[in-house]
Amino acid sequence: MVLLLRLLIVALFIFLVYSLVKYLLNPKRKLELACEQKNYYLLDDKENVRKNFFLTFKGVLFEGEKYLGREENSFEVVSIFIGTNTPNKLQGLSLSDFQFIEESIKQHYPHSKIDWKSPIKEFLTKKK
């Protein structure tokens, strides 16, 4: 009985360590932490085109929709639509901030055309 209890305690300890490591390495937790700290972070699964990517910059969470298309010799992500569900947090962002976001996305998807959703689209067309 004592041996069974010790095995149960060891198994519980291993499970807790595994859960803690899994929690600390979770990319969504890293995204939320970067958003709270107002840092840049890109959460993306490049292998899965159907999955949207999430990007945080200066405390604003952006969501990008990727669309696959044909390039010269291969299929690539050719169109990306980016928007945010919290437009009230856009206060303080400038044209250079949006240019930085576009450049960082172009590093991952060089063949893509980036389109912004409203109200960012109107802001960028006024500034250019």
Task: Answer whether 20's CB lies under 8 Å from 14's CB.
Answer: no
pLDDT per residue, tens digit, the chain (128 aa), is 888 899 999 999 999 999 999 988 888 999 999 999 999 999 998 888 889 999 999 999 999 999 888 877 778 888 999 999 888 888 888 889 999 999 999 999 888 899 999 888 888 887 66
Per-residue confidence (pLDDT) for residue 128, from 0 to 100 = 60
Domain boundaries, the chain: 3-127
Task: Answer whether 56's CB lies under 8 Å from 47's CB.
Answer: no
Per-residue confidence (pLDDT) for residue 70, from 0 to 100 = 81
> What's the rounded Cα separation, in Å, for the pair 60 and 91?
10
Tokens of 18: 């595994």
Reported residue count of the chain is 128
Tell me, yes or no, if the pTM score tops 0.85. Answer: no
